[in-house]
């Protein structure tokens, strides 16, 4: 019923996906967290919304070209809102895309399904078609941290994960990842993953302290009691980074230590003084964080889902908020999905 694949997020800048507290809470911009590991997540709705917004311009460009070919007078490209005069003389403002949709509907013109975001991701709640909603063809679950970079003197960066985070990656990508000995990642027993605690990758550099291999973090020394092993299968982008696996009850503390944090102020326009309520703190997942999320596509009609331009499997996309201060740039790579012909169809709810 579904073709399954997965996506990998490599943060190229700090990533903030969360909520903003009010002034009474100190204007804290906190990220969303997993309820058990307390590590950062990106909700599936945020991923779907981002992919929807990436496809929407394709449909708009197709509508503009098609209507122009039919000698329809298209407003200037700078007009993002179109003013219509109703029969009662009142003005009605609608978005440019809604205006194009309206004209296309009058001419019985429909854009190709391949570039119709409402077909792939379902009709959005604010659409005039919300009374006849469609089920999304593409399903997104939340993205979770797989490896998070942490400052470590002497490295200077070590990527950290935990058994629970590795197990979720195994569930998502286990069918598609093969180890060097030919074993599928999904066939690895949970006990083996649990035993990876306090194991380092082959590329991590340890400090010899009293004859023991240790890493130094801000909270103290961490001993690699299991030594080093090949962790390349757990790095979805192919490069085995300097890394260590810690216990599930420790990842939250290390994760919070690794977060990018910044205090910012908004100054008054006419003098260098903080505007009222203009002080806030923000936190974000650091640059270099590796996240993973599952994707499922209904296989009920012959169409190809190509969310990126030029039929590539990866692209740079901005996720989350605070783009104005340089946050959100990520590289998303889709596995087992992008270049395949999949059967899809629109399902009326």
Q: Is the dihedral of CA 109, 113, 117, 119 positive or negative?
A: positive
**Closest by alpha carbon to 54, among 115, 12, 98, 123?**
115
CA 299 to chain centre: 23
Strand pairing report for 314-318 and 329-335: antiparallel
Category of 189 on φ-ψ map: left (φ > 0), alpha (ψ -120 to 50) or beta? beta
Strand pairing report for 274-284 and 28-31: parallel
Supply the DSSP symbol for 271.
Answer: S
Tell me the whole-structure pTM to 2 decimals: 0.83
Strand pairing report for 220-223 and 212-217: antiparallel
- What's the CA gap between 3 and 317, in Å, rounded? 23
String of DSSP letters for 163-216: HHHHHHHHHHHTTT-B-TTS-BGGGS-HHHHHTTTTEE-TT---EEETTEEEEE
For 196-335, where are the alpha helices, taking DSSP H only? 251-258
**pLDDT for the residue 129:** 52
Q: What is the mean pLDDT of each run of 10 residues along the chain (349 residues)?
A: 88 85 54 89 91 88 88 80 74 82 86 84 63 75 94 86 95 89 90 92 85 80 86 90 92 90 77 70 90 87 74 85 84 75 36
**pLDDT for the residue 101:** 84
Contact predicate 278/22, CB 8 Å: no
**pLDDT for the residue 54:** 87
């Amino acid at each position: 019923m579904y073709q399954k694949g997965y996506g990998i997020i490599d943060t190229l800048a700090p990533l903030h996906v969360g909520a903003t507290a009010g002034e009474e809470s100190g204007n804290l911009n906190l990220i969303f967290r997993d309820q058990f590991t307390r590590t950062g997540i990106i909700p599936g709705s945020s991923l779907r919304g981002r992919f929807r917004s990436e496809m929407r311009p394709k449909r708009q460009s197709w509508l503009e070209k098609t209507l122009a070919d039919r000698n329809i007078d298209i407003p200037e490209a700078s007009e993002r809102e179109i003013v219509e005069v109703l029969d009662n003389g009142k003005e009605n403002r609608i978005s440019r895309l809604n205006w194009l949709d309206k004209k296309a509907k009058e001419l019985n013109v429909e854009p190709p399904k391949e570039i119709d975001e409402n077909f792939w991701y379902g009709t959005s709640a604010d659409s005039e078609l919300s009374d006849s909603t469609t089920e999304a063809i593409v399903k997104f679950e939340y993205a979770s941290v797989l490896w998070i970079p942490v400052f470590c003197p002497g490295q200077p960066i070590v990527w950290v994960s935990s058994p629970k985070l590795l197990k979720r990656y195994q569930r998502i990508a286990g069918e598609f990842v093969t180890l060097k000995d030919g074993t599928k990642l999904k066939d690895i027993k949970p006990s083996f993953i649990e035993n990876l605690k306090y194991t380092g990758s082959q590329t991590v550099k340890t400090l010899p302290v009293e004859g023991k291999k240790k890493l130094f973090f801000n909270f103290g020394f961490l001993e690699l009691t299991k030594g080093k092993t090949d962790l390349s299968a757990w790095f979805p982008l192919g490069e085995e980074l300097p890394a260590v696996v810690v216990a599930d009850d420790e990842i939250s503390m290390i994760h919070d230590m690794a977060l990018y944090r910044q205090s910012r102020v908004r100054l008054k326009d006419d003098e260098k003084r903080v505007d009222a309520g203009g002080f806030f703190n923000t936190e974000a997942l650091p640059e270099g964080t590796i996240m993973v999320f599952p994707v499922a596509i209904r296989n009920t009609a012959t169409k190809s889902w190509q969310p990126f331009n030029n039929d590539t499997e990866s692209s740079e996309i901005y996720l989350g908020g605070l783009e104005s201060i340089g946050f959100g740039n990520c590289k998303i790579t889709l596995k087992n999905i992008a270049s395949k012909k999949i059967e899809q169809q629109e399902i009326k709810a």
